[in-house]
Structure 1
Amino acid sequence: MAFDERKPTQSTWVDIGAVEDLPPGTMKRYDLEQHRILVANVEGAPLAVADTCTHEDASLSMGALQGDKVKCPLHGSRFCLKDGRALDEPAEIDLERYPARFTDGRLEVAFSCDVG
């Protein structure tokens, strides 16, 4: 059995805005310290991923929301917002995904941090 050297982590929920600022069928970029996050309201559920395309560093918030997918404005790569998967070339690297939720009229995104 191998020794697991990973540090334990915990999630910290961060309030990033009001639910009404993100109506169903829309997406918005949020700049949070060192994170640029794209959050989309897909059928009443918030989905959050890194805002930067993994191919050419374009802001995905300038692209097109297509259901639960976002299309990059630069070269047309599409990403699944549910799991961050790169669906089309030229992008081949998946996006980082963040847990998101609507709570008491507020939008929250979770970030992992090391414990200990």
Structure 2
Amino acid sequence: MVGLAVVSHSKRAAEGIAEIAAEMGGDTRIEAVGGDGQGGIGTVSDDIEAALAAADDGDGVVVLVDLGSAVMNAEVAIETADAEAVIADAPVLEGAVNAAVAATSPTATLDTVREQAEDARDIDKL
């Protein structure tokens, strides 16, 4: 099953987004990672790499990120990780929910889950 990693500058935000996505994701592995490792705002590539390893069961990991440097640190983590992973260009919350639902499909692939996450860019809220 394709796993998910939610990366935010705020550990609490990442945990909350992962919690919401988990409501729709069944048995999907969803890892939340965020903060600077010392209780502050930021992201750490080593922590993201650990989250990728925890989320991966062999089918890869779709990564949802909140802001620019989270993308940079996620890219570094993906380069050094053993897990196959891709970053979805998607709004983090809506993308995580879409990805969690998509990951429950028995035919889900890394690409199909990423595509569903990215489809969240077109969701109207009103």
* Same fold at TM > 0.5: no
TM-score (norm 1): 0.30
Q: TM (normalized to structure 2)?
A: 0.28
Greater share of helix: 2
Higher radius of gyration, 1 or 2: 1
